[in-house]
Amino acid sequence: MNSCPWTSELKTHLKNLVEMEPISPLPELLDVLESSEKLPEAMQPDAIRTPLERHQRQALTFMHQRELGWALNGSRPDLWEYMGNNQRHCFVNHVSNAYQEEEPEDFSGGIIADPMGLGKTLTMISLVASAAPLHNSVMDADGVVTSATTLIIVPPPLLGTWEEQLSEHVNPGSLTWCRHHGKTKFTGTGSYNEISIVLTTYHTVSAEWKSHGEHSPSVLFSTRWRRVILDEAHFIRNSSSQLTRATCEIDAAARWAVTGTPIQNRLSDLTTLFSFLRVYPYSNRKQFDADITNYWKEGNAEEALKRLKRLASFLILRRRQNTIQLPLRRDLQCAVELTGTERAMYDEIRNKTVARIDDILYESSDDTRPVEYTNILQQIEAMRMVCNLGLYYHARRGLRDLTQKNSESWASIAQQNFDFQGEMGGMQCRYCFAVADTSARLLNSTQSQQSLHLSKCLQLICSDCISKSQPIDCGHSPSCPFAPVYLNPTSLEETSLSFNHLEYVTSLPQAVKFPPKITALVTQLKALPPGVKSVVFSTWRTTLDIIEAGLNQASIQCLRFDGTIPLKERQAVIDRFRQEATPSVLLLTLSCGAVGLTLTVASYAFIMEPHWNPTLEYQALARIYRLGQRNEVTTVRFYVRDSFEQRVMDVQNSKRQMAAVLFASQDSTAGPSLASLQNLRSLL
């Protein structure tokens, strides 16, 4: 690869416009789950034509061992061990050191939690290919018939990815697979006897569980599968949701959860995975709390973490990204300065917002605070848009009276408020506590018409509870107005201040320059050697519109991939980017780029603004920096100096107390508190 222009070349091209700073790596929250045991390497399965990496063969060993069940004889370290002699015996729990006389319930499976980019999909395909074959079906000692087929449950966007991976890595004729989804569904249990793998989606599982019964039996729930594998398993972390309850009801001899983020927000995310796995006794949330979480609550964080690590060492396989030899990756951040006019626009919005927060903190009641909080979030969005769009942002829209929104009907702005809350971390249903957040949205790859209801005081009622005829009530008397909202991933890409950006660009006088971020991006893209491919990520399509205009002006060809691209056309966009020399730039929204794509043809990634949720940025960059990447990779994060964006980055980069994050409780059913408003003010 040609040398990267990030030293003297970059300084020459960018002069004083851009300041590049290296980003120091910080400890990963999930390092607490890291596996330290040195596993032997399993043999390469004959059915797999792609040579497995060392860490993948070690993962096969781990999975083969775990599918044998508990190592009660002490042949390897495990959660349970048999102790005894001719006179007395017991079974010891090596997490709590408790013992019992009854043999623990059978368990087969575990969690594969390697970071994104380490080839977990190929690893799981290799497990199916390497496990001892079960010809047709077998009957166990209890008379239960187990199918020879593995069921793999994935988010809808990943069905095609799994089929592509199977075609790429499996020797022809050695494994067979098909979909159980949409129009291609089985009608009887005998129709898949000769099939190795059945691919389905979480939505299909949820829908069939709801209708499954004597008069309408579902193949998914009438079968005991050889194994069930959940891809992106963190999607089931809401223990009370219909989707999670349905998935946990699948019957299988072995159960596997595959996710690079088994803990996204707090430790309770992990307990739902244990419930799916049926890990005795930690499938019971109360037992998990008694043996681990309560030690933290009682002030003994060291013992809580020690027990968590011990449990993880038995059931979870997680290695670091540097387990594999990937090319060098440079992570940089690029500070840009607003022009004088842009800074004045930004400061006016900021000053009004700070003054309004101070008024709210001083005078507002609990009943009016949610509405005011919503107004504040809208003004913060306006500040963020100024950082991205500069003078292309409609000043009259951004500087309107902060209280004007109060005159609009709740139905007209409820979706916007739901989107704000989702970007900041999600909301919980006031009845069942299911979380509606970014991950839940990404699962809904299609235009979901399943509505939730959001009150003006920011109380959420999920679709499951609505279907159970729970009252649409916020708890106030009288109840605040409610409006339907949707888990539509494309709404994450929109702003509440949208206008026809490309038309607006062409209407401006030539003297109006592109915003500083877009100018810096275009300058950097022009400095790259020919043939080098780049991906540009932004939260909003609005920003991508202005970038596209800037690239067109600079005669740089680009492709677009966002929520407005029909599903049937998306693969064609990716294929063109991968296979053709030009265009060399892909413009991609974070909501589309967080899961399911492999973009190792690119070696440069640009993130146009910091996101509330840094996990989304991490997932997006993993589309590029992953197994299969052959070139050195450079990532650049843009931000405006001395702005809200810089404060968000400071929060992201602060070294948080791991135990405090892991064991924190959540109550997002309550409206915004004084503390949340004070936190927002500190970012301004």
Higher pLDDT, residue 624 or 420: 624
Q: Is there a domain that residue 165 lies in?
A: yes
Q: Is there a domain that residue 40 lies in?
A: yes
Q: Is there a domain that residue 637 lies in?
A: yes
Same domain, 209 and 259: yes
**pLDDT number for residue 140:** 58
Same domain, 44 and 186: yes
Beta strands in 219-359 (DSSP E): 224-231, 251-258, 316-317, 329-336
pLDDT at 293 over 50: yes
Same domain, 227 and 270: yes
What count of residues does the chain have? Answer: 684
pLDDT at 69 over 90: yes
Q: What is the CATH number of the domain that holds 630?
A: 3.40.50.300
pLDDT tens-digit readout, 394-443: 543 544 444 444 446 777 778 877 877 766 666 778 887 777 765 555 55
Contact 671, 369 (CB under 8 A): yes
- The mean pLDDT value for 211-226 works out to 81
Same domain, 18 and 35: no
* This prediction's pTM: 0.81
Stretch among 162-166, 201-205, 298-302 having the lowest mean pLDDT: 298-302
Q: Which of 496, 516, 541 is the last residue of a domain?
A: 496
Contact 423, 616 (CB under 8 A): no
Q: Which two tokens stand for residue 134?
A: 């079960």
- Number of structural domains the chain divides into: 3
Higher pLDDT, residue 446 or 422: 422
Higher pLDDT, residue 496 or 582: 582
Same domain, 550 and 485: no
Name the residue among 158, 179, 113 with its Cα closest to residue 623: 158
Q: What percent of the chain has pLDDT over 90?
A: 37
Pairing of strands 89-93, 99-100: antiparallel
**pLDDT number for residue 432:** 76
Q: Which of 434, 463, 496 is the last residue of a domain?
A: 496
Q: CB atoms < 10 A from the CB of 137, how many?
A: 16
Q: Is there a domain that residue 97 lies in?
A: no
**pLDDT number for residue 680:** 67
- The mean pLDDT value for 17-23 works out to 60
What is the sign, positive or negative, of the torsion defined by CA atoms of 646, 647, 648, 652? positive
Same domain, 406 and 507: no
Residues 6+ apart with CB under 8 A from 237: 244, 264, 268, 269, 272, 273, 435
pLDDT at 471 over 60: yes
Higher pLDDT, residue 319 or 652: 319
Same domain, 61 and 137: yes
Stretch among 82-96, 429-443, 488-502, 525-539 having the lowest mean pLDDT: 488-502
Q: Which two tokens stand for residue 430?
A: 């006031």
Instruction: Tell me the pLDDT band of 369, cut-offs 50, 70 and 90.
Output: low
pLDDT at 455 over 80: yes
pLDDT at 1 over 50: no
Instruction: Tell me the pLDDT band of 28, cut-offs 50, 70 and 90.
Output: low
Identify the domain containing residue 572 by its residue range: 8-28+326-335+500-662
Same domain, 295 and 400: no
Q: Is there a domain that residue 667 lies in?
A: no
Q: Which two tokens stand for residue 576?
A: 């063109």
On average, the pLDDT of the chain sits at 80
pLDDT at 48 over 60: yes
Element (H, E) at 306: helix 301-315
| Tokens 């810096």 -> residue | 520
Higher pLDDT, residue 33 or 101: 101
Q: What is the CATH number of the domain that holds 53?
A: 3.40.50.10810
Contact 638, 660 (CB under 8 A): no
Per 3-state DSSP, the chain is made up of helix, strand and coil in percentages (nearest 5) of 40, 15, 40
Q: Is there a domain that residue 84 lies in?
A: no
Higher pLDDT, residue 176 or 660: 176
One-character DSSP codes across 426-456 = -EEBTTT--EESHHHHHH--S----EEEEET
Q: Which of 496, 516, 531 is the last residue of a domain?
A: 496
Instruction: Tell me the pLDDT band of 15, cut-offs 50, 70 and 90.
Output: very low
Residues 6+ apart with CB under 8 A from 111: 233, 256, 257, 258, 259, 262, 273, 277, 315, 316, 317
Same domain, 154 and 298: yes
Tell me how many degrees the CA angle 559-563-565 measures, rounded to the nearest 5: 55
**pLDDT number for residue 534:** 96
Same domain, 156 and 304: yes
Same domain, 13 and 42: no
Q: Is there a domain that residue 62 lies in?
A: yes
**pLDDT number for residue 449:** 55
Same domain, 122 and 58: yes
- The mean pLDDT value for 667-676 works out to 53
pLDDT at 220 over 80: yes
User: What b/e sequence results for 375-402 when a residue is b if at least 16 CB atoms lie within 10 Å of its CB, and e otherwise?
Assistant: bbbbbbbbbbbbbbbbbbbbbeebeeeb
One-character DSSP codes across 547-609 = HHHHHHHTT--EEEESTTS-HHHHHHHHHHHHHSS---EEEEEHHHHSSS---TT--EEEE-S
| Tokens 């948080």 -> residue | 656
Q: Is there a domain that residue 609 lies in?
A: yes
Contact 547, 608 (CB under 8 A): yes
